[in-house]
Structure 1
Amino acid sequence: MSSLEVDEVLFSYLAITTYAISFVLIRVDNGVQRPVYYVSKSLHEAEIRYLPLENAILAVVHATRKLPNYFQAHTVVVLTQYPIKAVLRSADYTGRVAKWGTILGAFDVRYMPRTSVKGQVLADLVAKFAEGPEEIKTRPGGMDEKSVGLISAQPISSWTVYVNGAVNQQGSGVGLVLISLEEVIIEKSLRLGFSVTNNEAEYEALLIGMAMVNKVGGKTVEIFLDSGLVMGQVRGELEARDTRMQEYLSQVRCIQANFEFFKITHVPRSGNAHADSLATLATSSAQNLPRMIMVEDLGTPTQGTTETLQVNQISSARSWMDPIILFLEKDILPEDKSEAEKIRRKALRFWLSEDKKLYKRSYSGPYLLCVRPEASEDLLEELHEGICGSHTGGRSLSHRAITQGYWWPGMQKEAQEYVRKCDQCQRFAPNIH
């Protein structure tokens, strides 16, 4: 193992297998990667059913628990192909992912794409020799290293297929989006003329997508779908008990044998919106007629005939929100080390939307829109003496602002000061003798 210098930046590699995870910490010495420490963990019970992305985050959390001194004294750059940073800052994940994000926020951990496999070899070796559970030492039949989807595997150029099935009162249909090796996008929407369940529609979409790639001669394919049941049965993690599910699974196995590389990955429904819209389109089609739908982009709103006045927006002064927005958007921290540490810790409690609006995270309610200092007084005025204002007290006024979905630091103190300055409250408030 190699000794470290003060404030030296460390790098790390991850390896994820079916029954084990490993984390290797290295330092760069004159262009040579030297190992510092490594940890590994065997997965048990529910951990085996985690998604590979969740296991990647778990590997980093496990390393912070085993090697806290390294994470507290150094900046650690995690080299991985998984979008860990995007997941931890996303608003779509709760539960254990949100908990892990809070743990990792206490350390200076950064994430970068993996460009070298020098230290990755050591991480793969540690994960390979980690013992798995005794009751499931054998891998399910028909699954090889390619279908497990190890992080250490080299990227393979393959067809990318997004599939989804939809069942509603109007009928059932499937949607497919195929991306060829030349990045040509093929879209397909099929309406099913027979009665199916949601899981059967997902299987139909999967089979049609595999058959289309096989028909055009594709030998490598990666399929994305949002059905956890279908993915678990195809991977062998779940048992197909229903007779109809067993028949679908056997058909998948037959077509899968024609591919040299086959991988199936679960994505959230938001990540499969394209295929989902095509499947919904099939169920809403009323007639069996060939049709072509033109989809174009409208960059600007349609201008009316009435004249409008041009309003120039004056940029507001810097506030407490700007450093947090800058860090969440561009990973830029202040030069002062102590101030940078404060911003990094505060940023865990906030989320930046796509339209660059800052929200305060809430674990028991909706996210709260952050208000700039120059807009807080106008908001208090509207809530206190506006159309629905009732001239409430300071504590009630700040609580009402929260229930309306707004937040800013020191809001309770500002609300109390505003009530003291309200002329009507001072004139008509009950006198206490």
Structure 2
Amino acid sequence: MLRTSIKGQVLADLVAEFAKPPVETVAEKRNMDGKSVGVISTLGPSCWKVYVDGAANQKGSGVGLVLISPEKTIIEKSLRLRFSATNNEAEYEALLQGMTMVQKMGGKTMEMFSDSRLVVSQVKGELEARDARMQEYLSQVKRLQSDFNLFNLSHVSRSGNTHADSLATLATSSAGGLPRIILVEHLDGANEVAKGMVHIHEVRVGPSWIDPIVRFLKDDFLAAEKSEAEKIQRNAPRFWLSEDHKLYKRSYSGPYLLCVHPEASKLLLEELHEGICGSHTGGRSLSHRAITQEYWWPGMQKEALEYAKKCDQCQRFAPNIYQPGGVLNPLSSPWPFAQWGLDIVGPFPKAARNKRYLLVGTDYFTKWVEAEPLANIRDVDAKKFIWRNILTRFGVPRTLISDNGL
């Protein structure tokens, strides 16, 4: 007889040796009235918990993943997408990356959490994916979902998914290609600031016209060159130096005007011209507006005019100017071949057939020239020239002008 019982026992021992230990779960059984009947103990596989989030902004796109293993081990992952993606596409990429990582680690049951209601609803079938790109992502999720024994996707609020959200934001805001370890420390108290004045020095600002005047008003220092020193002494009474070493220009009837460094004048004009409250005014009114805002620098009107001319929007939406750009010159001949000028040129050295003279006719409109060499200037030759070269070719002209020659 066959020993089937021994073979079955060997197979059972083999399965028990290599199988993962099950997790015991306790469920409470209730009847139809809602009363508790008893406790049912069921055995279920280990479950992974994954929190995913995607972020997309002007700096780029990123994905944040937080994986919690059945042994409560937390794995953090921040991925930067090197291709352009929308916010919904970044959410799908985060979902696919989380499923792929759990699959590589051998997990068969997982519970995922995402703060994107659109992605969660499309995966559950509550919403339809109409975009072709969203349909492709949804098909990939469905294909990976079939490899798991248990898969559950739930929606959580943004406040409940802050860990993954911070990792996704970190991927979009950080520079790529640099390994880094970020240490977060806690400060229990504020640092004590020493009493006294704290001097702040501006860096990357080159020398300008402000420096010699400030040195003269502050330390009574003049340049070695005589002409430059006289110029500073002559212009210094027009300025005033404050306690925080800011230079102001005295005005006759208004408040003192803050002197602006040449490198900061362009930013100031940009803010006044096309900033939040900018009105795209012309150069003259732009310089006047800078003065009303209590700013001043030499040559501000010229810079304002040049800046207004270079503004792209002012050139695009400027009113059409119908006035001609130059002086209009009246035309003596308004249409072609209506007015001809006749002239006799010569005498020249004798050519073939003793031809020494040249009879020329020029149209005033097109500047077309008709010429014929002649041996003698006679009325018969002039009549033949006009008939053959002008009348028969261009029609009867309105006017024939000559210099009253014979």
- TM-score bracket for this pair, using the shorter chain length: 0.3 to 0.5
More RCO (CA 8 Å, sep 6+): 1
**Structure with the greater alpha carbon radius of gyration:** 2
TM-score normalized by the length of structure 1: 0.36
